[in-house]
Structure formats: C-alpha cells, structure tokens
Chains A and B, each alone.
Chain A
Amino acid sequence: MARSQQKKRGSGNGTSRGRGSRHAKKDVTDVFEADDDQRQIQRRGHTLDEVDNFEYEAGDIDEDDDEEIDSDDAFEDEDNDRFDHFKFAGSTKPELKKAKKQVKFQEEEPEIDLNEDDDDNAADENSEDGDDYMDLADMLDNSDDQDEDTAAVDQFLGDDGSEEQQSDSDAESDMEAFKGIGSDDSDDNDEAQESMISLIQSLSKKRKQTGDQGGNKKRHLTERNEVYEENEFNLPTTRISASTEQPKRTLDLADMMGSLQGEASLGQVKSSLESLAAKSKATLSAPLAKRVQDRLEREVAYGQAAKEITRWEPTVLENRSADHLHFPMQNGQETRDSKTSASLASTFVASTNLEKQIEQALQDAGMKDEELEAFESLKLNKLSVEEVEQRRQELAMMRELMYRHERKAKRMKKIKSKAYRKLKRKEKARLDEITEMNNVDHEMDQEDMMEAARHRAEERMTLKHKNTGKWAKRALARGQLDEGTREAIMEQLQRGEDLRRKIQGNDGDSDGSDSNDSDDDYDDAHAMAAKLDSLAHDIQQDTQPKKGLLSMKFMQDAEARNQKETMAELDSFREEWLNDEDDDQAEQDPANHRQVQNNPGRIAFGANMKNDKKPVQGTTTPSADVKLNAHGQIEKIARGAAHTTRTTGSVQVASKAAKPSPLADLDDDASNPWLQNDTSRLSKKASKSNKATSTQGKPRKTKGAADEDDDVELDLTQVLTVHKASKSPAAATKKSTKASSKPMPTAASDNDDDSDDADPTPMVPTTNKLTFSQRDLVAQAFADDNVVEEFEEEKQAVIAEDGDKVEDLTLPGWGNWGGKGVKKSAKKKKFLKVTKGISADKRKDAKLANVILNEKRHKKAEKYQSTSIPFPFKSMEQYEHSLRAPVGKEWNTTDIHRKMTKPRVITKLGTVIDPLSAPFK
C-alpha cells in the first residue's frame, strides 16, 4: 500500500499510476486479499468503466489546467447542494484546487459510460479512492505521525480537540480549509459534532455515489490496517505525506529516536544513532546502466583474478625453468633419502679385518680426520692478535687500493678526448711490444736463440754483398768507378759468392731426409754444451754459507769432495759428449751428401747410423751375434755389398757436386737397379779405398775451420770416418774383442751399420726426384704406359660433364629464307639454353691433380640434413653446436648419459597427481 502511494506521487500519468498501484497491491497484499480483489472486480462493473474514463481524462489534466479551473466553476450546482454546509473560509480558489479537482472527478464519474471490466481500472479505482482518502488524511495530519489513511481518520474522529491544537500555521491550503471546520467546532461543540458526523456521512455518501463498493472499500481499508497495534515496536514503514507532490519519506532514524526521547538511560544509543542518521542523510543515486555496471564488475573481477594469478608466477617460472619435474611434487623430495659418499663415510665403522687394519694404519700415521682437523685448528690458533690486526689492515689497504683504482679507471674511461685516446693507444702498443720482447728474451731457449742467430746471419749474408747496400748503389750509380772502388765492390761480390756457396752447401744438406735430424743434432750439441756450462756454474755457485750442522768443517769438507767429484764427472761427460757429437757430425755430413745421390741403400745406411748415438760399452749380446749370423747370411748376398758401393760413389759425387767426376758416371750406372751385381764389384773397390783411408784414425774435432775453408775436404774426411765404419763389419765379426777393448764411438756405429747391412731393408724412401724418375722406369716396365694420361682424360671428361651445359634450341629453317640461291646469313641468331654447372676452378678437386671428387648430389643422404634452422635456434652455428655433444651411452659415462637422457617430467607410478597447489613462497 505504501508503495502504491509512492508510485502515485512520482508519476503524473494515470495509466502508470493505476498499473503501479496494482503491482504494489500484488506485492503487499497477501493471498487472501487477492481473492477479495478478484471478487470486487467481478462485482463492480461500471465503476471500473468509470475509472477507465477518468483515467482517460485524468491523463489530459495538467497541473496548469488544474489551476485554471476556477473553484466557483468547479463547484457546480450539485456540488453546492452537497457541500453547502461546508464553509471554505479564507480559502482562495487556487487553494481549493485540489479538493475541487477531486470533486470534479467524482462528479464526472457517473457520466462516463462504464462497460469495461478491466483489472487495471478496478485497481485504479481503488487507488483513486485511496488517493482521495489520503488527501484528506494529509489535511488532517498536522503532527509528524505517520499513519495509515484510515488510522488518521479514526484519530481525527477520536480527538478533534487535540487536532485543533496541533494545527500548524504553516500548513498548506488544504489545512487552512480544515481550520475553518475547526473554528466552527470551537464555536459550538454540538454543532461541531454534528457537522463532523455529517462530514463523515458525506464522505461515505460520496463514496456510495462513486460506487456500490463503498462499503467494501471501507472494509478493504480496514483490512489494510496493520495487523498489530501501533506502537513503538511495530513501526510503520512509511509516513503519509501531504497531498502535494512532495516525496514521502521512508522510515528514518529520527522516527525511531523520537520514541527514545524521554529515555535518559539510552543517551549513548541516541548519540550513536544520531551520528548514523547524519551519515544516512545522503540519498542513493540512480543505479548505473547494466552494461556499465557489468563492465565495471568485470574490470574488478579481472583485477582480482590477476592479483590472484600473480601469486603463482614464481612457482610457475620455477617449474618452467626446472630441468626436471617430479610428480607428485610436494612429497617427492622429502621421501628420497640421498646416500652420498660423505654421509656413508661419516657413519663408517671398520668391521672387517682389513678395514680395521687400514684404520689402524691411518691412525698410526696420524691421518685420521679428527687428528687432521685438530692439527689444522692448532695452526689456525697460532695467529696472534697482532697478526690478525695486520692481516685486517692489509685487507683494508687492498680494498682501499682497489676502490681507488676503480675510481680512477672510471674517470679515465669517461675521457672522450680523441687525442688522449690516441696517445693512450700508442703507449699501450709500445708497452706491449716491450713486454713481448722481454718475454721472448726470457722464454727463448738456447735452441731458439741459435735458430734466430742463424736466421739473422743468413739474412745478413743474403742481403749484403749483393750490391744492394747504400754505398754500393751509389757507387754503381756514379758509373765511372775508380780502381779502388771497383776492387772493393768486386771483393764484396766475391765474398758474397763464397758465403752463398757455403749456405747452399747447408741447403743441400737440408734437402735430404735426414737434414732436420742433423740440424737437430747440431743444435742439441750446442744446447747440451750450454746446459753443461750452466750446470757447472750452478755447482760452483752453490757455495753459500751454511748454518747449523752443515756449517761444520767436516761437513763442508765432505761437500767440497762431492763437488769435486761432480765436476769431474761433468767434465768427463762433456768430453765424451762432445766427442760423440763430433763423430755424429762427421758421420752425418757425408751421409747427407750421399743422399743427394739417388741411391736408396745408402740412405738407409745413413739414417740407421744416426739412430744410435750413445756408444755402447762392453760386449755385444750374444743373441745379437747369433741373429746376425743366422739372418745376415742370406741378406748379405743381396744387399751388403751394394750399400757400401753406393756410399763411396756418392761421396765422390758430393765432394765435387758441380763438376762431373769419373766416378759419377759409375754411380749413374750403379743406380740402375738391374745392374746391382756390377755395382757390388765397384763397392768392393770402394771399400778397399776406404779401408786405406780409415787408418787415419780418430775423428776430427776441428770441424769449424775446415768448414769455412773447404767443405770438400771436410766431407772427405767425414766420409772416410764413416766408411771406416761401413767397412768394418768384417773386422767386427772377426775380432769382437777389439771393439770391446776400445769403447770408441766409431765402434758403436760399426756395429750398427753391420747389423743394418745384414738386415733385409724392405723399403726405401724415395724422396728424390731423380730416384723417382729412375724407379719410374721400372714401374713403367710393369705398368700400363698411359695410366696417368687416361686418368687425366677421365678427369677432363668429368669436369666437362659437371660443368655448364649448352643446349642449342634453334629450330632449323626458322628465321631465315629458304629456296634457291639463298645465302646463309652469318648473323643468324642462335637460341642457346645454358644449364649452369660447376666450373672447373670451383671444383673440390681443382687443386688435386690425381683425384676426382664426385660433385654429384648425394640425394638419398640429403634427408639426413636440415634445410632450415630448427626452431629454438637462430643461427646455423647455434644449431650445429647443439649437436656437438653426443648423448649416447657409447660416448659418455653412465652418469652423464643418465643425466642427459633423464626425462623432464617424472611421475611416480600409482600415485594421484593433484593439480599444483599453491605453496606461495
């Protein structure tokens, strides 16, 4: 009911009014009431129609129109008849407007044709009635009491006196109209009573006029009353306001507090309620559009969800970056007990005999853990306070320095000056160079130094004496040379020539396969000598004053004795070594020279000779002798003689490399493999001559002087010494005692050569060009003659096949005239289709003469190669590096293999894996 009133207030439209009221009624009234309504609706037919009509009219009525209606106009005759006993004292026309209007409605009602039977209309009628009533009640209501319409009327009927008293001067026009009534009452009580009754009667009459349901309405009104007696604990929810459009307020705190007025004990509650009341003053604003509301809701919800989800981020990130995930997650780690070797060691107790023994041994040695720890802690304890202080200071200093350095570096780094940078760079380069030089100087070995010196020397020799010097150039440029200058230049040239010859001699050596070795030996000798020197120096230097026991005289004496012995030993060794060196040197040179010659046997000889440097003292092992006898017999026939032959031959040639000697011819013959027997004869001769020369005795030490003057002579001597060795197998076999009695280096080499000769030498290196060509003769005797040519042809064919292919697509007869007397045009356009191939210079075998590499596609293997870079990688390098480390167990240790192939997700069998719960660290 209250709601219906509110609705009416808000809307000026009749239709909406009626509808609103009906809905309100539905809302408020209970089930029983609904039946009554239904009945009422059925009963009254025309009233409903009336209302309908009224509604229509009411719809037309505007406020302005209302105002325009004159009260006198409104009061028509019938009205006058009815309301003549009413005095509208002091009422102006506009003030009476409302009442008039109402009356007018009521008057009009009967005139309307009433045939419709509509729920809405019926409801409207009801509400209209209510409205009427309410207006009246409002008129009556001067106090702030909120009453139901009927209740107000009752009250009014009950105590009109009090009503009067309570009348408010501020009351609206309606109220003033009522005042008149009141004043009448005061004049005459009886009269007043009567008039009141009449008023009520008139009201009821009016109701009866409007419809038959007047009584019903009344009943209905009573039914609308509150079930309970009105009191402070049963407060009505709304208060009826005046008939104006002023909104009716809902129950507010003030109403409730009103009842607490007199209660002193509830002061506190009152104050709190007051504050509440102040707050609740603000009215609710209209709700936003649903769409907007939803959007806002979504926004908030998203924010909430996002906040919720961000809490998962660390967990998710961790899981994503984890190498392996064990599921179920939480209890996975706890259950696993890891037995590390350390944990096992800590709980180890010696149980078996062996273990006990070992433990005992450890204990005896003081190697038990506890003892070690104790020892270490002891050491640590020794640090005194001062030391600690000092240490701390040191550290502080270091920190300070580092800090400063850092600061400085930062500052320097900021400098933008180009000039400064340039200077800086230069300085750095210079410093680098210097340090490098220093390093090199320090690091350079004796050998390297030797090497460097030789290089320098070579450089000097090759550059100087070439007339490329400043002076020489100038002199030559001058053209006319005086006697002295010319002579000087000539001399220089001569000198250069000599030196060059010398160098070439060396180069010749290095051509041979053994050259490197010989060089090495040479260097070795020098290095060894230098080392010996330094050793001796060290020993002598090592005479610093001793302390304690060592300072005593007898100790020093003993040491001096020792030192002397050491020195003696050193000297003897040096002597021996150098002799040996000389020997080697002596042996090698001729050997090398011989290598220039194209005789294979000789080469083997030389190389073997070199293999054993150290002289063997004492007798040879009998087994070797036996072997020699057993083995050599066969081989001697084939080889032994030949070797010696060639050596001699080669010596002669080497000595006079430039000029052909009579022996050189022989040698050429000897190099023919088919003429071996002949050469053996030669070799005999040669060996005889060697024998003669070999008696010259010991090897020379004065190598250097000979070198400078005449290599030829030196070569000869060296050859001789060697050939003494080569000759001596016979001697060695005859007299082994001789060798044993004299531990000479030559003897050693003798034996070596001996065995060498006896052995079958199955293969010989063929490095020399000449040798190859001669061997070639033999080869060609066996082989097809044109193997090489055929191969080259084939290669050319393959190149042509793989190369560009030109196809002539010109159609014959097209593009030129035919017929008699037509000449062929020279400029005929040709249509050529070129299929690109691999050009000869881009082939993989372009630089390999004897090789044809297949340039065809290996189609079937292509599927094992990737044409694009697989996903996570960005470059080929990255991808191919990922293939670098194999995973298979064949290439890895078991541990690593397991680790590499461990699956990323490991689930425990038979357990339920719950979704990730939130640990939220």
Chain B
Amino acid sequence: MANQDKKGSAALLVKPNKKKIAERHHVENEEKYTRGSSLNAKKMKAGYKLKEKIRKQEKEAKEAAQAAALAERLHGEEAGYLEAEGMEKTKNFKQDQLADAVDINTSSKIFNLDLDEFGPYALDYTRNGRHLLLGGKKGHIAAFDWQTSKLHFETHVKETVRDVTWLHNETMLAAAQKKYVFIYDNNGMEVHRMKNHIEVNKLEFLPYHFLLASVGNAGYLKYQDTSTGQLVAELRTKLGGCDTMTQNPWNAVINLGHGNGTVTMWAPTMTTPLVKMLCHKARVTAMAVDPSGRYMATAGLDNKLKVWDIRKYGLIQEYSTKAPAASLSISQRGLLAVGWNSQVTIWKDIFRTKQTAPYMQHLQAGSMMNDLEFCPFEDVLGVGHQKGMSSIVVPGAGEPNFDSLEANPYQTKKQRQEAEVHGLLDKLQPEMIMLDPTQIGKMTRATKEEAQKRQREDQAEQAAEADDLPTKDRKRMRGRNSSLKRYLRKKERRNIVDQDKLDTMDQLQKLQKDQAKPSSGFTTLDIF
C-alpha cells in the first residue's frame, strides 16, 4: 500500500525578469489563463487609434496570461492521492490504516467527536477551512478552530437547531433554530434574531454578496443582506416546504430541491425560478454543486444519484443507491462524497466517466449520516452524523495551493480584518446574481424589436411611477397648510373625486365652521 498525502516542495521564489516576460512567445500553461481567443487588430475595421488601443490591450492580456502561467511555479504543493498496489483497492483503505501511513500532521486530522446526546449534527467549515461549526439538532452549537482544537465557544440554545453556517468569516455565524434564525458572534453571544426567517430548514451564505439565504417549511426563499441588515428578497417557491438547498459557488445562484423531484435555481431579483429541472421522480434529498459551477449532483428518495451538467441542463450519469443519500458534497478537486445510511462513499472522476467502484468508503457504524462537507484546502471530509461528528482523511480532496487574497488558512487577525474590509468594499450587488455572470458588462443580446419592446415597457412603467410620485408642494402660509388641505390638493391634482375625498372635504368644512363660530361663552372681557 502506498499512500501519499500533500508534500510540499520548496517554493521557487524567483522573480522573473520583466523584459524576459515581454519577449516570451509562449509560456507553458498559458492557455489556461488566456480567456478566449485574441483579436487580430490588423484585420478589423477600425481607425488607427482604436487599432492601436486593441493591439495594446491584446498585448497586455497576453502578458498577464503569461505572467500568471509563470507564477504557477510558485504553486509548490501537489495534490495528494491514494494509490493501490496490485490487488488492493483504494476503497478498502480504512481510516485507521491511513492514519498509520500518513504523517503525524495528517493523522491528527482523523478524529471522531462522540456527541451522542444532541445529534444529529450539521456542520460547516469557514471558507479558508480553518474553523468548524457544529450544530446538534437538539440545541448544541459549538465553534472551534479544528486544526489547533481551540474552542471558540460552545453553547446550548435549548431548542432545535436545524442548520448552522458561518457568515463571511469566523467571527459570525448563523443558526436556524426552532422558529427563527439567530446570529451569534464567535463568543457565542446572540447578536441578532432574524424574525423574518421563520422555521428555517437550511441556511446558505453567499460570501461575495454578503447574503444569507434561508429556506424553510413555508417554502419561502429569503435573502438577507448581512452587511446592511436588509431583507433583500422573499421569494415564494410555491413548491411547499423545502429542506434541500445548496449554492452554486460560481454564480451564486441558489439551488433548491423540492418534494416533487424538481430542482429550482434562484436569483434574488427574480420572483420566478431561473431554471426548473425535473431531476427525480421522488423528493430530492440532497444536492451539491461543484466549485466550477459546471456539475451538479442530486440524490432523491427514488434511490438515485444523478450527475448533471448544469451548463446545458443535461444528465451525465445516473447511479442507483442502496438507500437514498442524506447528504452530498463536492470537494475542491472534484471528489463527490455521498452519505447514506451510516456510510460515506467517495467518488472520484465521477463527472468525467462512469464509475464502477468508489474511490473511498467510510462506515460510521450505528450512526445515520446527516451532513457532509469537505474541508477547503485540506484532504479532509467532515461528517456530521447521529452520534457526533467525525473527520476523515480523503487524499486528493482539497486544493493544495491557496490564494491568500481569496482564502487564507493561515490568516492572522489583522489579515482577517483587512479581508473583511476588502470584502465589504468589493461586495457584489444582489442584482448581479444571474445564471451567466460573465454577461455583466457585456452588450445586451436583445434584438432590435426586443429592445424596442423593452423600452416601451419601461416607459410605461416610468409613467405609472411618475403618477405616484409626490410632486413638491410649495410652502404655504400658516393656516393654509393643514394636512387635510394638503391631502385634498393632492387629490385635486390628480382630478380624482372619490368618497375619500368627499369625506375629507366634509371634515374640512366642519372644521372651518367650528373655527368660524364665535364662542358664546362668557369671557373676561364681558366684565367691562
């Protein structure tokens, strides 16, 4: 048996000479970074200036791609893998065997938390894979830096906890409890109670948009902006209660799995789903979308596991499971973990070819699976189950090289603060969530007719809005600006005579009469 985990080679810290970069014709892996083909300035119809501009642009793009390709040599780490010798099968390797074979550091990542009182557990890793959040169904919430085993807090909320999720960093987290969603800080202090989110089953946080999405028994998908506190959208799915939700990390579209076997994809600015797919013939139990946003895996009560290409909404593979999968997770490097009954099976290359045998398996004896999640930048799979949580090593799961601007596992406090500020500055607007975010900034593909039609619609809409807009009233003298008069004037402007107006007029008249009526009573002046 040969097992290799991540092994770092010394990073080659050479700053390439700039001139050399400029002169290079081709760099290895350059294509990976060139986005689309280049334009030939010579052939196009354009003036000298424009041609020059485009030429410069192309040159810059090429340079950037080459520099990026050259910088690849700084990726010192290599992904781990499991290799079976001879008649061995990787799926037969068990965690205790792996623990013997791997280095101490890695073996310390295999652990099991026996928490059989408050299970089953939901779990969530931060984006840098450093911190772990556990939420036991019966009210146990714990957050800790799992690599150093430093506990941030541990609390018992004494009510049901259905799901937990970290927000933008490890200082804040959200928990879907019995009725409301609560937000806690990293000391376990309750920061907010979000009364708009009622009976929530699943939570999902969109880190670039600072949106917390929730869906619950009422079947409403709600988006709350965690930076401004606004409730951005409330979308009625019309498909009943929902407890399957995942996000597409590429375009921040939320995928929901429903009881009738459909999967719907949502953007906060559209009241109807962007896509509705019939994926299963029974309830959808679990979903996962791969980090590139290309593939989706769904599992249903019909004992099926299906792999979809969500670029063209086509089915790639279909597998039958012994029991309906309770949870799915896709790792950074494309491993698919399926939790069913008390088993976890991990599949490799499942998006490419049809697999006949799993890559790895894990049995959590006597404990039903509840939630699975691969830890980012680590070859670790977190397994939340009935009797606690276990962490298992899956070689080749995590991305070996991290981008510290994106997610830094070794983030210091200062860096975290910086990242938070930068994240807020670079926050994306909810309207930017769409199926193909590369369309942002591009030209509309609408035909002329369409464009005209849209324009007409918009104009009509604006006109309607203009009617509703309050026109500015000029300032009037004292006594002539009562609220009743103002109201009447407003009505008059629109030339509407309705009961309401008539009533108001009567009221006003009465008021005036009252004022005009001389007081019949005795005053002090009567003395004289």
Contact = CB atoms under 8 A, between A and B. Distances in A.
Interface of A: 321, 323, 340-342, 513, 600, 603-604, 607-608, 611-612, 614, 616, 620-621, 623-624, 627, 631, 748, 751-752, 755-756, 759-767, 775-776, 778-780, 782-784, 787-788, 790-791, 794, 836, 845, 848, 850-854, 856-867, 869, 872-886, 889-893, 895-896, 899-900
Contacts of B53: 872
Contacts of A323: 56
A856 B270 contact: yes
Given A763-B345, A787-B261, A892-B64, A782 B270 contact: no
Contact of A872 (B49, B94, B321): B49
A861 B54 CA distance: 28
B305 A763 contact: yes
B443 A879 contact: yes
A865 B450 CA distance: 15
Give the most central of B60, B71, B281: most A CB within 10 Å: B281
Contact of B275 (A608, A852, A896): A852
B20 to A, nearest CB: 10
Interface string B251-273: 00000000011100001011011
B434 A790 contact: no
Contacts, number: 253
B87 A865 contact: no
Interface in B275-289: 275-283
Contacts of A900: 60, 64
B454 A857 contact: yes
B35 A885 contact: yes
Given A513-B354, A608-B357, A900-B60, A864 B86 contact: no
B358 interface: yes
B270 A341 contact: no
A779 B281 contact: yes
Contacts of B454: 857, 862
B52 interface: yes
Contacts of A885: 35, 57, 60-61, 64-65
B318 interface: yes
Interface in B360-397: 361
Nearest to B438: A883
Contact of A764 (B60, B276, B320): B320
Contacts of B343: 760, 762
Of the four ranges (under 10, 10 to 19, 20 to 34, 35 or more), the interface on chain B belongs to 35 or more
A875 B44 contact: yes
Interface string B469-500: 00000000000000000000000000000000
Nearest to A748: B87
B303 interface: yes
Contacts of A863: 431
A759 B92 contact: yes
Nearest to B270: A858
Given A858-B270, A864-B431, A884-B61, A765 B319 contact: yes
Contacts of A896: 63-64, 67-68
Interface string B282-321: 1100000000000000000111110000000110011111
B35 A783 contact: no
A861 B92 contact: no
B441 A864 contact: yes
Given A875-B45, A881-B38, 13 more contacts: A608-B356, A612-B87, A621-B1, A621-B88, A765-B318, A765-B355, A782-B282, A784-B281, A845-B313, A874-B44, A885-B35, A892-B67, A895-B18
Nearest to A853: B275
B92 A865 contact: no
A550 to B, nearest CB: 39
A762 B340 contact: yes
Given A763-B321, A783-B261, A755 B87 contact: yes
Given A791-B262, A867-B444, A762 B356 contact: no
A736 to B, nearest CB: 12
Interface string B32-66: 00011011000011110110111011101101110
A765 B260 contact: no
A852 B276 contact: yes
A481 B351 CA distance: 59
Given A884-B35, A884-B61, A340 B17 contact: yes
B458 to A, nearest CB: 8
A854 B439 contact: no
A338 to B, nearest CB: 11
B406 interface: yes
B86 A616 contact: yes
Nearest to B302: A779
A395 to B, nearest CB: 25
B467 to A, nearest CB: 20
A762 B45 contact: no
